[in-house]
Amino acid sequence: MLVRCLYASRAAQPLNSTVLDEILEQSRRNNPELGVTGLLCVAENTFIQVLEGGREEVCDLYNAIVRDGRHEKVRLLVYEEISERQFGAWTMGQLNVARTNPALMLKYFTRSRLDPFEAPGRSTLAFLTEVVATTGITPR
Ligand SMILES: Cc1cc2nc3c(=O)[nH]c(=O)nc-3n(C[C@H](O)[C@H](O)[C@H](O)COP(=O)(O)O)c2cc1C
């Protein structure tokens, strides 16, 4: 049984590349064994993460991530059972939204700015799906 989970959170401290590198290193170390794939998107001090994999693995990982002191205000945006992965190419892909085409943001959001706490979870997921389809994200 495959599931997908999308959440957003705020970084507890202003984000720097060391914190981000540590998180990605942990993700890339742990996720392959769990069979979890996904995308970690960073926009200013906001994290948006998609996790895909088995229900047990995704739920356990999500619960661990929620307790992580490096972020706060974790909000679950989408949780669904899926028949196939959309973010299967990455143990944890990375995307910096600051470098995303503003026109693509306007397609899904009221402003050319990503605010996952305001926008419907479905819009944020559709935006990420299109970004993945149209821009190069280094497979890792
Ligand atoms: C925004 C965010 C995303 C994270 N994503 C993952 C992830 O995809 N996989 C993972 O194993 N840990 C992730 N973590 C880290 C976990 O919260 C936790 O620190 C880690 O799984 C502990 O693993 P370790 O004991 O092997 O270091 C994330 C943390 C944050 C703050």
- The tens digit of pLDDT for each residue in 125-139 reads 999 999 888 876 654
CA 51 to chain centre: 7
Atom of ligand 1 nearest to the CA of 51: 8
The answer to whether residue 140 scores a pLDDT higher than 60 is no
Q: Ligand 1, atom 6: nearest CA belongs to which residue?
A: 27
Question: Can you give the pLDDT at residue 138?
Answer: 56
- Per mean pLDDT, which range of 25-34, 59-68, 86-95, 125-134 is the poorest? 86-95
Find the DSSP H helices in the chain.
17-34, 55-66, 102-108, 121-134
In this prediction the pTM is 0.94
**Which pLDDT band, with edges at 50, 70 and 90, does 40 fall under?**
very high
Q: Ligand 1, atom 23: nearest CA belongs to which residue?
A: 26
Neighbours of 55 (CB within 10 A): 13
Structural contact between residues 39 and 128, judged by C-beta atoms closer than 8 angstroms: yes
Ligand 1 centroid to residue 50 C-alpha, Å: 13
- Percent of the chain past pLDDT 90, that is, above it, reads 73
- Kindly state if the Cβ of 87 falls inside 6 Å of ligand 1: no
